A and B are shown apart, each in its own frame.
Chain A
Amino acid sequence: MTQRFLKLAAYVVAVAALLAGAAVSAQTIDDRVRDIARQLMCPVCEGQTVAESSSELAEQMRAVIREQLEGGQHPEQILDYFVGRYGESILAAPPKRGLNLLVWIGPFAVLLGGVGLAVRTLRRWTHPPLPGDAG
């Protein structure tokens, strides 16, 4: 039984390793432009990112991203450049700091709290109190 379980664990590790390998695999310049464009909202459209929008402004912004990437700029610097020009509301998702952490951490807190509660409940259910215990 332990052997079988170890095998299963080995699969999980192998798959995780594959995923990690996939994450760092090479990207083309187009991919990198799109990755950054996806993090910026198109200022003249409603609810579209710069990556999706077919507006002229979005196209220009994609060109600027490409230019800056080719000039060796770091993605963070490029995002900062656009924030400097358009304000924080250009970002498609809030940066992970200050009050914004609430939105990033909140759901995982709910998940962990829920798992804790479920584990406690299951423990209580599978080990009913002995007749001598109160409650």
Chain B
Amino acid sequence: MSDLGAFAIRASLVVALYAIAAALIGARLRDERFLTSGRRGVLAAAAFLTLASVALIWSLVAADFSILYVAQNTSLATPLFYRISGFWGNMDGSLLLWAWVLSAYSAIVVLTNRSRNAILMPYVITVLMGVLAFFLVLLTTAADPFTRLQVPPPDGGGLNPLLEDPGMFFHPPTLYLGYVALTVPFAFAVAALLTGHLGPEWITSTRRWALVAWYFMGLGLVIGGWWAYHVLGWGGYWGWDPVENSVLMPWLVVTAYIHSVMVQERRGMLKVWNLALIILAFGLSIFGTFLTRSGVVSSVHSFARSSIGPVFVAFLMAAMLSAFALLLARMGRLQEAHHLESALSREGAFLFNNVALVAAAAAVFFGTTFPMLSEAVRGVRMLVGPPYYNQVFVPIALLVLLLMGVGTSIPWVEETLPRLGRHLALAATLAGAGGVVLLVFGVRKPAALSSFILVMFVAVVTLAEFARGTRGRRRIGESVPRAVYSLLRVNPQRYGGYVVHVGGLMMVVGIAASSGLSRQIDTTLAPGEEVRIGRYMLSLQGVLPYRDSTRIGIAVQLTVSNAGQVLGVLQAGKVVHVASQQPLNLVGIRSTPRDDLYVILAGVAPRKVRLQVLLNPLVFWIWTGMGVITLGTLIAVLPELRRTRRPVVNPAAERS
């Protein structure tokens, strides 16, 4: 199996390089046959990498310890489910996953562009296969997942036990589905620059890809947060860990891009800016993979370390320098007559939304890279943690939120100040009144309070948009549900986008509440003793030994009651993963839409236990918000799968 896998990786490298050569020759000679051959090369690369990936999964499942990677990342005791996730449990496998996803995406691009984009395609293939070749070179040299062991050990090392969790099964592949999708718009952008075909084609062909990238990166972040919350046991879901940051940065940049491309689609403006954004987003995805996989930063993801850092930096530099040099060289062709009726328009609002989103990404970038800079310059590795992000990132994020409301209520082309005032007055009044109410009820943290006020503001504005649209359709005799359905159908991009906004607002509420208003009690209890937090009363039943298929330890049983009524039993413990001797937390969580009761066993003394009890309000809405975002993204993307939309040419088509 290892020979087959090793062969398949090398074969895919060969066909990828062949596809580049054939595509370029085809473009030069204008010979369709070479081009067709190049396309088949892309499909072959995908087939070979599928073979290689299946071979690795097979070896992991069969526990073939003659392969070093298998011996390091799985064991006989590892359940089947987590033998499979050993695939992305470490560097070599993750890089193979990267390459596999990229080859599959490339195949989809080739298959969906058989007749479209004939001029761009040779260069699209060149860029896609060039990036793929970089990863394949790594996979055949420094990170070969099929390296053999002379003497196979009787048992393997096993997966890092922290990763033996459903969250960590889905988190890495989801992230990669997002990350890697960024390569497609990047390839189209570079192809547009190379050929000088800088019209709207490359954007219409890749908008869906940008959305896919955006969605899966977001989903991956949320799954990662869910995992941290349930497994790591420190009461939070987001630690500004460099590895989380490395996904947040391209996500923010793509968020900006998704908005700014609308300006180009409608008005033909912001061409240079859009190209720059997508190049930057791709660069950040490579930078993120480098951060995760090179061990350059100390983080909870430190199990993913390697020595391939310099190669990554060289590739990243080369890709960014050549892409931006190309952009500069084409600057002359990208100049066109700009004319905007008014700065007070959705176009104008998107410009500021882009600035704020890029500044937010910059805040994360400065914070993530500063420890390395400080170490290089002063020899002291300064940490940049939550206090920094609370003071720098959060204000910028609140600005983004404000612009989300303002932007939604401004129509394209032109708005007048009195009309805008009229539209915003209701939302501002309600949000202000809501703020006073919250203040009276004791919400005192400035960040949380301003988040809530802004959320109410944006929510009213967004619902007003729906109401306006529905009213319009009611006039032609549709019932309310029917009207909402028609809105989503007729303009899925716009109203799907608003649904996504609503999901985002739900997440902001959950994040602001749980980070600003959570309560924590540190206590020591003996059996029979009780502790009160909020409306809950917890009483310690006892301390019992704990044992499951892979872990042993101790756990406490706590009876949870509210006003004398017993609600259930919560279990929290400290355990050791037997195979690796790694200590782990068993977190006790009782989740309701109102708040999460979260119990950590901090320590055990004779006849007493130390507990950390947290009451995290509204966390439920973070996960629910992601569900709504999924729905909105589906609404926006699905209709496009059925028909290829022409760009809207008439700028005044929207909103009366």
Contact check, A126 vs B417: say whether CB atoms are below 8 A apart. Answer: no
A94: chain B residues at CB < 8 Å are: 370, 374, 382-384, 388
Complex CA–CA separation, A97 to B453 (angstroms): 33
B399-453: which residues lie under 8 A (CB-CB) from chain A? 399, 417-418, 421-422, 424-425, 428-429, 432, 435-436, 439, 443-446, 449-450, 453
CB distance from A94 to the nearest CB of B (A): 4
**Separation in Å of the B73 CB from the closest CB of chain A?**
21
- Taking a contact as CB atoms under 8 Å apart, the answer to whether A128 and B600 are in contact is no
B273 → A minimal CB distance (Å): 9
A24 to chain B, nearest CB (A): 10
Interface residues of A in 113-131 (CB under 8 A from B): 114-115, 117-118, 121-126, 128
Total contacting residues, chain A, CB less than 8 A: 58
Verify B417–A22 contact, CB threshold 8 A. no
In the assembled complex, 9 residue pairs joining A and B whose CB atoms fall closer than 8 Å, in A order, are A54-B233, A54-B612, A88-B382, A92-B383, A93-B391, A94-B374, A102-B370, A111-B396, A122-B348
Question: In the complex, what residue of chain A is closest to B370 when comparing beta carbons?
Answer: A103
Binds A, one of B337-345, B549-557, B633-641: B337-345
**A54, A59, A121, A128 interface centre (most CB from chain B within 10 Å):** A54
If over half of A's interface residues share one DSSP class (helix, strand or loop), that class is named, otherwise mixed; here it is helix
State the Cβ distance, B333 to closest chain A Cβ, in Å.
16
A-to-B contact residues, CB < 8 Å: 1, 4-5, 7-8, 11-12, 14-15, 18-19, 21-23, 25, 34, 38-39, 41, 46-49, 52-56, 59, 62, 87-89, 91-94, 99-100, 102-104, 106-108, 110-111, 114-115, 117-118, 121-126, 128
Q: Please, which residues of chain A bring their CB within 8 A of the CB of B360?
A: 107
- Contact B338–A125 (Cβ < 8 Å): yes
Tell whether, in the assembled complex, residue A104 and residue B392 are in contact, meaning their CB atoms are under 8 Å apart: yes
B600 contact set on A, CB distance < 8 A: 54
Asked if A103 contacts B386 (CB within 8 A), the reply is no
- B421 contacts which of A5, A107, A111 (Cβ < 8 Å)? A5
**Is B253 part of the binding interface, using a Cβ–Cβ cutoff of 8 Å?**
no
Those of B212-259 within 8 Å (CB) of chain A: 233-236, 239, 241
How far apart sit A14 and B435, CA to CA, in the bound complex (Å)?
Answer: 10
In the complex the two chains form, is B355's CB within 8 Å of A117's CB?
yes
A34 touches B520 (CB 8 A): yes
Within 8 Å by CB of A89, from B381, B417, B453, B520, lies B381
B653 in the interface (beta carbon within 8 A): no
B300 contact set on A, CB distance < 8 A: 46-47
Asked, given contacts A46-B302, A47-B239, A111-B355, whether A99 binds B340 with beta carbons under 8 Å apart, the answer is: no
Q: In the complex, which of the residues A25, A62, A102, A114 contacts B366, with contact meaning CB atoms closer than 8 Å?
A: A102
B522 at the interface (CB under 8 A from A): yes
In-complex Cβ contact of B351 among A1, A52, A121 (8 A): A121
* A4 to B421 Cα, complex, angstroms: 7
Extra contacts besides A22-B443, A91-B383, A126-B340 (8): CB < 8 Å: A8-B421, A41-B385, A88-B380, A93-B387, A111-B359, A114-B355, A114-B358, A122-B343
CB of A18 within 8 A of CB of B439, answer yes
Per-residue A-contact encoding for B596-634, CB less than 8 Å = 1, 0 else: 000011110000001010000000000000000000000
Give A22's nearest chain B residue, CB to CB: B444
Cβ of B363 < 8 Å from any Cβ of A? yes
A103 to B239, CA, bound (A): 18
Q: Is the CB of B355 within 8 A of A93?
A: no
Contact assessment for B436 and A93 in the assembled complex, using a CB-CB cutoff below 8 Å: no
A19-B341 Cα distance, complex, nearest whole Å: 37
Task: Looking at the assembled complex, report how far the CB atom of A99 sits from the nearest CB atom of chain B, in whole angstroms.
Answer: 6
From known contacts A5-B421, A94-B374, infer whether A49 and B355 are also in contact, taking CB-CB under 8 Å.
no
* Chain B residue with the shortest CB-CB distance to A92: B385
Q: Which of A23, A39, A59 contacts B522 (CB 8 A)?
A: A59
Q: Is B378 an interface position by the 8 A CB rule?
A: yes
Instruction: State A41–B174 Cα separation when bound (angstroms).
Output: 30
Residues of B within 8 A of A121 (CB): 351
Chain A residues with CB below 8 A from B370, complex form: 94, 100, 102-103
Residue numbers in A under 8 Å from B387 (CB-CB): 38-39, 92-93
A18, B435: Cβ atoms closer than 8 Å? yes
A107's partner among B235, B363, B425, B446 (CB-CB below 8 A) is: B363
Pair B421/A1 contact, Cβ less than 8 Å: yes
Asked, given contacts A49-B386, A88-B380, whether A118 binds B340 with beta carbons under 8 Å apart, the answer is no
The 7 lowest CB-CB distance pairs between A and B, nearest first, are A114-B355, A92-B385, A107-B363, A111-B359, A125-B340, A93-B388, A54-B602
- Contact across chains for B362 and A106 when beta carbons are under 8 A apart: yes
* Contact status A52-B385, CB under 8 Å: no
**Least CB separation from B239: chain A residue:** A47
A128 and B339 alpha carbons, distance in the complex (Å): 6
Q: Is B29 among interface residues, defined by CB-CB distance under 8 A?
A: no
Which residues of chain A are within 8 angstroms of B435 by Cβ–Cβ distance?
15, 18
* Bound form: Cα–Cα A73–B603 in Å: 29
A64 to B371, CA, bound (A): 27
- Taken together as a complex, chains A and B put the C-alpha atoms of A111 and B357 apart, in Å, by 9
Residues B339 and A125 in contact, CB atoms below 8 Å apart: yes
B386 adjacent to A8 (CB under 8 Å): no
B-chain residues with CB within 8 Å of residue A118 when the two chains form the complex? 351-352, 354-355
In contact, A19 and B446 (Cβ under 8 angstroms): yes
Docked-complex contact A52 and B236, CB < 8 angstroms = yes
Q: Known contacts being A34-B520, A38-B386, is A11 close to B429, with CB within 8 Å?
A: yes
A14 to B422, CA, bound (A): 19
Contact pick for A110, options B359, B386, B520, CB 8 Å? B359
Q: How far is the CB of B276 from chain A (nearest CB, A)?
A: 12
Contacts of A19 in B (CB 8 A): 446, 449-450
From the candidates B380, B384, B436, B603, name the one contacting A103 in the complex (CB within 8 A). B384
Q: A5-B417, A46-B298, A107-B359 are in contact. Are A15 and B522 (CB under 8 A)?
A: no
C-alpha spacing A77/B428, complex, angstroms? 42
Q: Which of B341, B359, B386 is the one whose CB lies under 8 Å from A126? A: B341
A11 to chain B, nearest CB (A): 5
Most buried by B among A5, A15, A93, A99: A93
Pair B239/A56 contact, Cβ less than 8 Å? no
Chain A neighbourhood of B356, CB < 8 A: 111, 114
Least CB distance from A3 to B in Å reads: 10
Say yes or no: A89 contacts B450, CB within 8 Å: no
> What residues on B are CB-neighbors of A8 within 8 Å?
421, 424-425, 428
A47 engages B299 (CB within 8 Å) = yes
Q: A118-B351, A125-B269 are in contact. Are A41 and B449 (CB under 8 A)?
A: no
Given contacts A54-B612, A111-B359, A121-B351, contact A93 B384 (CB under 8 A): yes
